[in-house]
Amino acid sequence: MARSKRRNLAALTFAFQINYTLPVSASKLKPALPPADALDAPRLLALLHRHGGREYVATLYFGAEAKGEYRLTARGERVRAQGPSGTVSELDADGFTGLFGRYHFARLQPSGVLTDLGPLFG
C-alpha cells in the first residue's frame, strides 16, 4: 500500500511540473527596444540645433511603444515641442533632456515648415 501511495504522489508531482511550469525569469526576457533608427533626446537636440528654425515631425517611443507624434523646432537655445494633444512647450536644453530623457524619437522627417530663414542660408 505504501508503494502505491508513493507512485501516486510521484505521478501528481510530475503532472504538476508539466501543467504548472514557472514563468521564465526576467533576466532571460529581452527588453522592448525602440526602432533601430530612433534617436535619444541629446542626439535629437543636437540635430535640431544643427538645423535651427526647421520644424521636424517625429514619433515618440517609450521602449517599443509609440506614444504619439511630436513637432519639434529649435530656435537659438530654446526648443519648441508640440505634442499629440496640441500642447506647446518651449524648453531649454536641460528642460528638454529632463522631460524627454527616457524616450526615443523615430521616423524623423522635416515638416516643410521654416520658423526663420536660417535653414535657407546655412
pLDDT, tens digit (0-9, with 9 covering 90-100), for 73-108: 998 899 999 999 999 999 999 999 999 999 999 999
**pLDDT for position 62:** 95
4 φψ region: left (φ > 0), alpha (ψ -120 to 50), beta (else): alpha
| Residue pair 73/44 in contact by the 8 Å Cβ criterion | no
**pLDDT for position 65:** 94
- Beta strand pairing status for 88-91 and 104-114? unpaired
**pLDDT for position 115:** 73
**pLDDT for position 53:** 85
Residue stretches of the chain with pLDDT short of 70: 1-30, 116-122
31 φψ region: left (φ > 0), alpha (ψ -120 to 50), beta (else): beta
SS3 87: coil
**pLDDT for position 121:** 55
**pLDDT for position 112:** 83
Query: Alpha-carbon Rg of the chain, whole angstroms?
Result: 26
Q: Select from 118, 113, 107, 102 the least CA-distant residue to 70.
A: 107
| Residue pair 54/119 in contact by the 8 Å Cβ criterion | yes
